[in-house]
Chain A
Amino acid sequence: MNWIDNAIGTLEKKIELATRTDIESLCFFRIVFGLFTILFFWPSYRWIGDVPDAFFNPPIFSVAALFSGFPSPVLFLAIDIGIFVTIITLTIGLFTRISTIALLLLILLGNSFQYSFGKIDHGILLYLCVLLVMSFKDWGRFLSVDSLIRRNGTARFEQARQNAPKTPARLTVLGILVAFGFFTAGYGKALNWVDFDLSTSGVLFWLYGGYFTLGRGELLAPLAIQLEAPLFWEIADLSAVLFEMGFLFMIFWRRSWFVWLTIACCFHLINCLLFNIPFIVQAIAYLAFIPWSGFAIVNRVCFRYPKTLLLGLFGFCSLAAAIKLSFSNASGGILFAITNQLFGSSAELQVTSLFWLSLVGLFAIAFRHLFVDEQARPQLPITARLQD
């Protein structure tokens, strides 16, 4: 079995090098994760309490399948309260690991019932993968209330951080989950879309189905509907398959991994513009791989003044909580709640498009940092102190 272990070890090492980050980056990412959840996601399940039980059709292998109908509205209220608390504690880094696990379990439970209408949504799958992986990481070590309590003051904390070399952190499993997830999406398409037949189109299935049945007629969708270009749509079919299956191969090299993550952001931007499919929650999985601690503003401001940062975060979370409560049981982030209220529901797609565009820019900057600026600096001690 030794040679199998060695072969697997070699592959694992390649994935590890391609997807690695450091603990400081993960700790800053925790804040990004919290803010992202508050602004764009913030799930709520209270609405399920008002739905007729006749619609109850749970996935056969799920927690909901143990029930004969939707449970009492009190359960959904409890889930919402739990999510409310854990999002805030996770953002400020209070009982970080417990908050991470609790948030994961609460969303899984809520989703089991939300997906009991005969359809499982996949838009937040990678969000849950991030929570699962982070449950085993120390992403509350810095920039958290936990760290202030543990280290008893910011001065010692900053000194300790500066004296210690950057501690690499593995994101191998998250990388594999992202790559495999995309593979499952691409597999079916590879079988049905790659037919080199200009009289069929898979991309147009999404376009027309969404436009005429789900009311997805915003942004560039009306223009796309008018486009009679079979060759273009065939190339689009092939590109989608190539992109989704490609993750499995690109995970072995750092550059290609980052290029593919950037392409993923472009892919979502196009989906949002043409098909009005936002899929914004996927972004959080891509953001996990950004080397945040390498950005000057993160390093010089956030890590130098962690107490001020945490106070600011606490203030923001309090304000966000008040806004969330005032929008009663609406599901979704507070930014969408506000823009929908002010500009109508189409504003959500515009905000999402801008978000994906910003992410393309962010990955371009990260790419420059990784492969241009990093040349001038000594490499991280990758294998020396891997933390898991």
Chain B
Amino acid sequence: MPKLPKSVACVLLLLILIIPFVLLELRGIEAYPAVLLPSGDRVVTTSDGIVTFGMTELVAVHSDGQEEIIDPQAFFGNIPIDYWQPIARRGFGLDPEVITSFSLGVWTLSAKFSPQANAQQQQQLQAWMNQRLEFLNLKDIETVRVRYPKVFFDIDSQTEVSREVTRYFDYELD
């Protein structure tokens, strides 16, 4: 088999490596498979011994309004714990579909992300939710809530000074 000139092989390798990286950095779109390792480049702020960071909580709301924190690992069962936050962030699949457009000069390409669950899938989800709550022995639950508090934590005393719920999402059970 004839060998490629080094420059051509090098350009090919660079393209394979760089295109997914550029897509991720410029458009936030991650291809799979691609040679990308996790960046995790966010920061938390600390000041006067108080560190401020965001959290995600899974909460079961009883019919009397009482809240109970759920252990996500136990709730999601076989699904690895790392995936629970992305699932919850999308409203368990109920959020509307996202359509993004790319402009390539005269052409505009549209791509659909995060498909919204159809009626059948929503029914399946409802059954799954009930089954998981039952498994955790949580009875009389009306809502599964995903809460995003901002926590102010005192490092010295190892106590939470305060928290503000910045937003939340409610999944209503039938």
List A residues at the B interface (Cβ < 8 Å). 1, 4-5, 8-9, 12, 47, 50-57, 59-62, 68-69, 108, 111-112, 115, 117-122, 125, 128-129, 173, 176-177, 180-182, 184-189, 191-193, 195, 198-202, 204-206, 208-209, 212-215, 225-228, 230, 233, 244, 329, 331
Evaluate whether A188 and B35 lie within 8 angstroms (CB atoms) in the complex, with A9-B6, A117-B79 already known. Answer: no
**Complex: A176 Cα to B25 Cα, angstroms:** 20
Complex contact B90–A57 (CB within 8 A):
yes
Say what secondary structure dominates the interface of chain B. Answer: mixed
B136 at interface by CB-CB < 8 Å? no
**Complex: A119 Cα to B44 Cα, angstroms:** 21
Return the chain B residue nearest A61 by Cβ: B31
B106 at interface by CB-CB < 8 Å? no
Pairs across A and B, CB under 8 Å, 9 listed: A12-B6, A53-B93, A53-B121, A115-B32, A184-B37, A198-B46, A202-B42, A214-B81, A225-B158
Complex contact B37–A205 (CB within 8 A):
no
Complex contact B43–A201 (CB within 8 A):
yes
Q: A54-B124, A119-B85 are in contact. List 19 more A-B contacts (CB 8 A).
A: A5-B6, A8-B6, A53-B121, A54-B125, A55-B92, A57-B115, A59-B32, A62-B33, A118-B87, A125-B33, A125-B37, A192-B41, A192-B43, A199-B47, A201-B43, A202-B40, A202-B43, A208-B153, A227-B155
Complex contact B113–A60 (CB within 8 A):
yes
Chain B residue numbers with a CB within 8 Å of A4 are 6-7
Chain A residue numbers with a CB within 8 Å of B33 are 62, 108, 111, 125, 128
Complex contact B44–A184 (CB within 8 A):
no
> Chain B interface residue count: which class?
35 or more
Chain A residue numbers with a CB within 8 Å of B40 are 185, 188-189, 202, 205-206
**Binding stretch for chain A, among B50-58, B59-67, B137-145:** B50-58
Complex contact A50–B37 (CB within 8 A):
no
With beta carbons under 8 angstroms apart, the residue of B7, B29, B46 that contacts A199 is B46
B2 at interface by CB-CB < 8 Å? no
**Complex: A55 Cα to B39 Cα, angstroms:** 24
Chain B residue numbers with a CB within 8 Å of A189 are 39-41
Complex contact B37–A47 (CB within 8 A):
no
Complex contact B44–A181 (CB within 8 A):
no
Q: Which among A50, A181, A184, A244 has the highest number of chain B CB atoms within 10 Å? A: A184
Return the chain B residue nearest A115 by Cβ: B32
B49 at interface by CB-CB < 8 Å? yes
**Complex: A115 Cα to B85 Cα, angstroms:** 13
Complex contact B39–A188 (CB within 8 A):
yes
**Complex: A191 Cα to B41 Cα, angstroms:** 8
Chain A residue numbers with a CB within 8 Å of B29 are 60-61
Complex contact B41–A201 (CB within 8 A):
no
Evaluate whether A201 and B36 lie within 8 angstroms (CB atoms) in the complex, with A117-B87, A213-B56, A214-B82 already known. Answer: no
Complex contact B32–A61 (CB within 8 A):
yes
With beta carbons under 8 angstroms apart, the residue of B51, B56, B93 that contacts A54 is B93
B30 at interface by CB-CB < 8 Å? yes
**Complex: A120 Cα to B40 Cα, angstroms:** 12
B73 at interface by CB-CB < 8 Å? yes
Chain B residue numbers with a CB within 8 Å of A208 are 44, 51, 53, 153
Complex contact B124–A117 (CB within 8 A):
no
B156 at interface by CB-CB < 8 Å? yes
With beta carbons under 8 angstroms apart, the residue of A180, A181, A182, A205 that contacts B53 is A205
Complex contact A205–B21 (CB within 8 A):
no
Chain B residue numbers with a CB within 8 Å of A206 are 40
Return the chain B residue nearest A5 by Cβ: B6
Complex contact A209–B53 (CB within 8 A):
yes
Chain B residue numbers with a CB within 8 Å of A192 are 41-43
**Complex: A116 Cα to B87 Cα, angstroms:** 10
Complex contact B32–A181 (CB within 8 A):
no
**Complex: A108 Cα to B32 Cα, angstroms:** 9
Complex contact A204–B46 (CB within 8 A):
yes
**Complex: A202 Cα to B46 Cα, angstroms:** 11
**Complex: A69 Cα to B93 Cα, angstroms:** 12
With beta carbons under 8 angstroms apart, the residue of A53, A185, A228, A233 that contacts B38 is A185
